Homo-oligomer: A and B are copies of this chain.
Amino acid sequence: MLSTSLSKMSLIVLSGQSYTGPLDMLLLMAIANRFIGFKFFFSTDIDDGSGFYATWFFQFVFAATAATIVSGAVAERTQFGAYLVYSTFITGFIYPVVTHWGWSKTGWLQNQIVSKILFVDFAGSAIVHCTGGIAAFVGALVIGPRIGRFEDGAHDPNPQPGHSTPFAALGAFILFLGFLAFNGGSEQAIVGGDHAVVVAAAFVNTMIGGASGSITAVVLNYCIAWMRGEQKYWSLLQMINGGLTGMVAMCAGCNVLHQGAALGIGAMSGGTLMWLSWATKRMKIDDPLDAFAVHFGGGLVGILSTPVFMNGGIVHWQNCDSQRANYICDLFEYKVFAWNLAGFITITIWSGCMSLIVFYCLKLVKMLRVSEDDEIRGLDIGKHGEPAYPIEAYGHGWSERKSF
């Protein structure tokens, strides 16, 4: 369990050392081509006139987000050294290239190489979450399921619950709060102009999309159990994951969606979570936190639904008659959708293949998975020497008090 925390800290460490890519967002062709930037490594030659520090920090936390998604999918069976290696690769190479494509003026998705079409991904549904989500899927696939998760012949996986549901709820609240900063902060300004309005709209849509995803997931979960004749429960953990999926889906367009669209997209996210989670289990891939279903599923819904529902999107399309006055009946909205689809597919292939190389190499050199003994006893004891709840730290804990 501690490994999750460790991996988070390790990537902070590593991205602090190796992170340089995103700076080229602000620079021109002289320092980057359409595929990748090639300057300013290790903070050399910086000039803060271009907002280097703020951009560095902004991109640092986004890179950390992309990498930390993976830790949930490979939890409870991965070596500490493997976390260090894959976090370095994701934050130092895989993600910076993707963010260059989608958020730098010189990147191919933003360089208007086809007409004047721009990739629409305000806060990274595809750039951050599909990248992290597909890497999580690949990681879980390569490392294999936890011991005892799938038994031969059994239809459903064995439950392997986390050790504390209250901690899961606390983590969810922290993530929910963080998503407001993540999505609202993607405007990168709040004083002056319309920035404050955009930030507020991003907050509102993120909240509504997450709420809609939450309630959809929890109701679907209840109804599925009811249809299958099983015991019905209101699942807190599905509510958490549903909310996260909805917020992930909001990343792409939270600045340009009406609240009604946010509500609908959030509901789609809740459904996508359910079937991707089911499909992952059916493929006998063990993703303990449903990181793939949450982040890739939410990213998929967000990146494809935003061009459809956003202000100026397909559903707001005016027919060619009314447009003919301006001679622009060029199906612009559909081209944006196609461009977003192209970006989504490319990002998924790039991030998936690169992750596959990293995880497969780690497996080849036997750095990926802990020993069976360590896995059964728990990594906190075997690898970190610090039990999560040291038994000698607990006394009797009785209460001698009457009135409370």
The interface centre, meaning the residue of A12, A237, A388, A404 with most chain B CB atoms within 10 A of its CB, is A404
List, in ascending order, chain B residues with CB within 8 A of A54's CB.
196-197, 200
**Contact between chains at B165 and A389 (CB < 8 Å):** yes
**Contact between chains at A1 and B166 (CB < 8 Å):** yes
**Contact between chains at B164 and A388 (CB < 8 Å):** yes
Nearest CB in chain B to that of A385: its residue: B233
A259 at the interface (CB under 8 A from B): yes
The prevalent SS among residues of A at the interface is helix
How far apart are the CA atoms of A208 and B397 in the complex, in Å? Answer: 34
List, in ascending order, chain B residues with CB within 8 A of A327's CB.
none
**Contact between chains at A399 and B395 (CB < 8 Å):** no
Q: Which of B43, B196, B215, B389 is A260 in contact with, Cβ under 8 Å?
A: B43
**Contact between chains at A378 and B395 (CB < 8 Å):** yes
Q: Mark A137-174, 1 if CB is under 8 A from B, else 0.
A: 00000000000000000001111111111110110110
Q: Mark A375-404, 1 if CB is under 8 A from B, else 0.
A: 011101101111111111111111111111
**Contact between chains at B211 and A2 (CB < 8 Å):** no
List, in ascending order, chain B residues with CB within 8 A of A158's CB.
404
A72 at the interface (CB under 8 A from B): no
A112 at the interface (CB under 8 A from B): no
Q: List 5 A-B contacts (CB under 8 A).
A: A10-B215, A48-B197, A51-B197, A164-B389, A236-B386
Knowing that A158-B404, A159-B404 touch, tell me 14 more A-B residue pairs with CB under 8 angstroms: A1-B166, A5-B173, A13-B214, A17-B211, A43-B260, A162-B390, A164-B388, A233-B385, A234-B384, A235-B385, A381-B395, A381-B397, A381-B400, A391-B399
Residues of A within 8 A of B (CB): 1-2, 5-6, 9-10, 12-17, 42-43, 48, 51, 53-54, 56-57, 60, 80, 156-167, 169-170, 172-173, 191, 196-197, 200-201, 203-204, 207-208, 210-212, 214-215, 230-231, 233-237, 239-240, 243, 258-260, 263, 376-378, 380-381, 383-404
